[in-house]
Amino acid sequence: MENVGAIITGSSRGIGKATAIRLAQDGFHVTVNYRQDEKGAKETKQTVIDHGGEAIIVQADVTKPHEVQKMVEKTTEEFGDVGVLVNNAGFSHHATLDELSHQEWQKGLNVNLTGAFNCAKAVAPKMKTLGWGRIVNISSLRAMTGSDHGSHYASSKAGILGLTKSLALELAPEITVNAISPGYTRTPMTKDSLKEKEEQIAAKIPLARVAESPEIAGVIAFLVSHDGSYITGETINANGGIYMR
């Protein structure tokens, strides 16, 4: 169902930006969300417009339910309906258990998991009224493998998988809810680690390279399209074969 609003959280850069551009190309009206990176959000919006799409920018912290609600209301005012939510906003940094503070642990849960819950809770009534909806949650390879330098990140992204299955059961049949677990992907978040170790990382991946953000956006586009209408509660591992279930 094109020509409805699509909220992509954290879409000022990386996978979120690529997704905003792709969904706009597919006919959705896009809400570009950011918390701090206003410049990046404006660049995303302009790219959407340059590709013939329609977009608005809404600043909102996904950890704050009242800001999320205002984002949903603004999207509805501008586009009439909200039919798509992509929970992409995330927080990650490297820290072992002895280095990780309680504040950083909580921030990882708040942004990556509670933020997705806040957004889903806000859009679900709109989608139920519309009689159609797609929610895609961005998890991570680390949800499957764990992490020796980011237990907060891996734990919150694993929680996304449980949230996805639960909401898929609860919100059917009108709304599908799925997750994507990207592997190593070229984004601003991974820029430093790839600069140092891209060759070593690529050598571990059967496809022998890291993903580009538009490739992950393409999987999201499939899940929110008519072609993805009979898929719900699933996690798609887009990781080049580095992890197979």
Domain boundaries, the chain: 5-238
The CATH homologous superfamily of the domain defined by 5-238? NAD(P)-binding Rossmann-like Domain (3.40.50.720)
Mark 89-109 as b/e (b = at least 16 C-beta within 10 Å).
bbbbeebeeeebeeeebebbb
pLDDT at residue 143, rounded to an integer: 96
Q: How many angstroms separate the first and last alpha carbons of the chain?
A: 32
Q: How many CB atoms lie within 10 A of CB 223?
A: 23
Give which of 136, 155, 145 is closest to 184, Cα–Cα: 145
Starting from the edge strand earliest in sequence, which strands make up the sheet with 175-182, in order? 55-59, 29-34, 5-8, 82-87, 133-138, 175-182, 235-238
Spans in the chain with pLDDT lower than 50: none
**Residue 216: predicted pLDDT:** 98
pTM: 0.96
Confidence (pLDDT) at 196: 80
* pLDDT, position 245: 78
The percentage of residues in the chain with a pLDDT greater than 90, rounded to a whole number, is 91
Q: Which run of H or E residues covers position 212?
A: strand 211-212
Q: Which residues are marked as active site? A: 153
Q: What is the pLDDT at residue 189?
A: 76
CA 140 – CA 111 distance, rounded (Å): 14
Q: In whole angstroms, how far apart are CA 169 and each of 130, 172, 200, 234?
A: 18, 6, 40, 11
Residue 1 is predicted with a pLDDT of 76
Amino acid at 139: S
- Which pLDDT belongs to residue 66? 98
Q: What is the pLDDT of residue 45?
A: 98
Q: What is the pLDDT of residue 87?
A: 98
Amino acid present at 183 = G
